[in-house]
Structure 1
Amino acid sequence: MADLFPDTVSDVSEPPPREDAPLADRLRPATLGEVIGQDHLTGPEGPIGRMVAAGRLSSMILWGPPGTGKTTIARLLAASVGMRFESVSAVFSGVADLKKAFAAADRAAEVGQRTLLFVDEIHRFNRAQQDGFLPFVERGTVTLVGATTENPSFALNAALLSRAQVLILHRLGAEALGQLLDRAETLEGPLPVTDPARDALIASADGDGRFLLNQAETLYHAQLDQPLGPAELGRFLQRRVAVYDKDRDGHYNLISALHKAVRGSDPQAALYYLARMLTAGEEPRFLARRLVRMAVEDIGLADPQALTQCMAAKDAYEFLGSPEGELALAQACLYLATAPKSNAVYKAQKAAWKSAKETGSLMPPPNILNAPTKLMKEIGYGAGYSYDHNSEEGFSGDDYWPEEMEPQSYYEPIERGFEREIAKRMDYWDKLRRTRG
C-alpha cells in the first residue's frame, strides 16, 4: 500500500538504518521500553503500556515539544500490537491523500489487517480536513494517532478530540538527555568535550533529543584534536533558539507565567519570564501593554504610581527602541512585582458593569440633573442640589443613586498600600452620611 503516495509508509517493521544514516536514526529505539523520558506513558502503568499489554489501541493525540519521541512511539505502537502502520504528514498531504490512505486501510481490513494511521503535525490540517477523519475513526477503519506540538484544545476540532485520548509527552530533562548521549557514546565513542561542556551541550538542547543528537554528530564529524570546554563549545556550536511561537501556545504560556509571577510578588521569576519572551523575539510593545493591564488589574489604587511607571516605560521604549528601551520594561516589571497588590478596582469594575447592564435606563435623581432650560427647572431638575464645597467638610452626603435603586458597594479598598488611606476616607464619609440621615 505504500506506493499509493510518497509520504505514506505501511510497513509494520522497518529495515535497520544504513551505516551512514544520521545518528538520531541509528539510535532510534527498537521497542517501547527503549523510549527515553516518557515512562509516564510507555511504562507498565502508563496508558500506552496498558493498551499494548491488552493488545488493543484506541485513537490518541500525542502532544509534546519537538524531539520528544512522538513519531517513534507511533511506529513502535503499531509493531507492538501487530498493526499495519501508515503515515501521513499534514505538511505535505491533502484530502485526496487521506482518501487514498483510508481506501488502503479498508482493503487491509478485508484481509483482517488493522491499520494504525499516524498523522504528523495534525494541527496543520484545517477544520474540514480534520472532520474527514471522523467517519473512518468511528467505524474502526483506522486507529488514529496524531502528533502535534500545539495545544489540542486550540488546534483540533472538538469532535475529533472527543474520539481520541490526548497523551502529553514531557520535554526531555537533563537526565533523559544524558542517557541519549550515553547511547551515542556507546555507538560512536566518547564525545570530544569536557564534563562541564557536556552539561552545557545538554542544556543547549532545550529538551529536544533529536537536536541534541544532531549536535553530538557535528562534534564527532569535526575530528577535534582535544576536548572542548564550555566556552569553546559555545563558539563551535550554535545554541538552539528556545521554542516560542508568538501567536501560539508558547506565547500564551509565558505571558500567563509572567502575569502570575507579578501578581504573586515574585520579582525574580517575573523578570525571568519577561526575559524569556524578549530574548525569544516577542514584540516589546505587546509586553508593555500587558504590564499596563497588570498595573490596573492586580495593583490598582494600592499603588497609583504603578500605572504611571508602566506608561512611562512604554514611552521610554518608544523613545529608545530595542535593546536599550527594554530596560524600561524590566524596571516596570520589577516595580509591579514589588508593589502592594489589590484587585479591588478590577472587582469593582466587573460589579459595576454587571449592575449597569441589569438596571437598564434608570434616571439619576432629579436633584443632580442640570437644568439649562425653564421647562427642566419647572419639572424639578436640579431642585435641592447641595453644592459640596459649601459644606464645612467639603462633603454634602447627598444620595446620588436612581430612586428605584438601592445604593450599591462596588469598590472595597483593602488594607494594603495607598488603599489603606482611601479606606479611611471612605469610612469617614460613610459616618457623615449616617449622621446626616
Structure 2
Amino acid sequence: MKVWNFETIDAADPVDDTGLLEVEPMNELHVGRNVSLSFMSKVHDCGQPIWFAQDNNGAIWKLDLTFSNMTRDPECLYTFHSGRIEAMSVSPVTYLMATTALDRSVRIYDFISNSQLSEIKFKQGGTALMWAPRVVNPKGGLIAVGFEDGVVRIIEVYDPKGLPVLAGQKNTENAKINLKHVFKPHATAVTALAYERNGDVLATGSKDKTVFFFAVEDEYRPIGFICVPGPVHALQWSPPSHVKSMLLILCENGFALQVPAPLPEEQDTVSTYQIKNLPMQYFHFYSVKSRIKVKNSSVEEFHKEKAKLEWIKQQQEIGKEVEEVEPEEEPEEEPLPPLYIPEEPSPILCGFYSAPGKFWLSLRGLEKEKAAEDIEDPNAYNIEEVKQKKEYERIMKEAEEKKTKKREQLIALRHEFLFLLQKNQELPKHMQLHREVPLVFIKVIYF
C-alpha cells in the first residue's frame, strides 16, 4: 500500500519537455506475501482511519494507515477460497470439514464454531477430495485429495491432544496438516476418489478415462488401472449390505460401468499396471425424446377421434341425426425441421447402489438441446429479403410443376400417336389412312 499527497501531485509542474515528474509516496505499507489487493473501503474505527481491503487470493484485510508509533500491523480478518469450491467432505468422527479449490489450497473448517482451523497450499489446484472412513483411519484424520495435474495426495489432520469428537472442545484450534503420501496415477485432473467398504482399496478416477486401484497399506501400493469409455465423473462402492464388493463408475458421456474390486495378489505388474482381465458391465443411455414426442402425438390423435365418435353416439341416442362430415383438407404446411437427437445424453450427475445388483442414477435433464446457429456472414439476407426469396422460389416451383405436367401430357400424346400409327400400318391397305392429309401445326407455349 502506498499513500500519496494529493496536493503535491495536483500542483506538480514538470521541469523539462518530457512532461514527466517523479514523486515519492508519503508512506508505504507491506501487507504480506502473496497478497493481491483489488479493492479498498475506508471506515472509521474509534476515530482512526481504517481500511478494509479485498485480496484476490481469498482474504479480507484490516489495514491501519495512520503511520504513527501506534499503527497496528495488517490483520487478516477472514480467508476463503478465491474461486469456487471443487470438492468437500466431512470427517466421519468429528465436526470438521475439508474443502479444496483451484486456488491450490486445502482448508479445514470447524462448522460448529464457523471458523477455519488450518490450511495447506500446493502448486496445483485441487479437484477432488474425500475424508477417509473410520475403517481406514479410526482417528478420522486422513484425507485423500486429487489435483488437476493427476496427482493424489494423502494428508493427515492431527493434534497432539487428539481430534475432538464432541462439540465445545477447543483443541481444534491447534489442528495441523501433514503430507503423508503423494503419487501420480493419472495424466490429467483427478475427478473422483472412493475407498472400498472394507478400507482395503482406494479407487481414483480421472478425465484421462482411467480408474486406478491402490492397496490401502502403509505406502498405498498400486494394484493397477482400467480404461473406461469416457471421462470419469464419480465413483461409488457398493455398501456392506451387498454380498460382493462392486465399484460403480459414472462417466460424463452417459456410460455407467460396474466392476468388482481387483485382488492385488492376482495382478501381474511386471511390465504394466493395466488390468485386462477384470470383468466389466457396461450401461449406455440414449435419448428417447423423439420416441416420446411421436407417442404423445399418436395418443392425442387417438383421444380426439374417440371423443368425436362418443359425441356422435350420444347425439344418435337422443334421436338427432348426425351426418359424418368428411374432414376438410388442411392446407399443406411447411415441414418442421427434423428433431435434433444428440449422440450422447446429458451427463450423469450422481449415482448410488440400492438393492444388490441395482443402482440409481441422476441425469441433468432429458438431453442436451442443440445450440442455435449463429449468423456469421455479414452479407446474410435480412428478414424481408428472405421472405422475397422464398416467394420467388415458390413461384418458380409452381411454374416448374406446370412445365413438368405439360411435358407429361405431350409424352402421353406422342405415345398415343405412335400407337395409332402402328395400328394404322397393321390394317389392310385399302383401310389405311394416308399421310397426305393436311397437317395442322400446333404452337405450344410454355408457361
TM-score normalized with structure 2 length: 0.22
Higher Rg: 2
Bigger RCO (CA 8 Å, 6+ sep): 1
Q: Structure 1 or 2: larger strand share?
A: 2
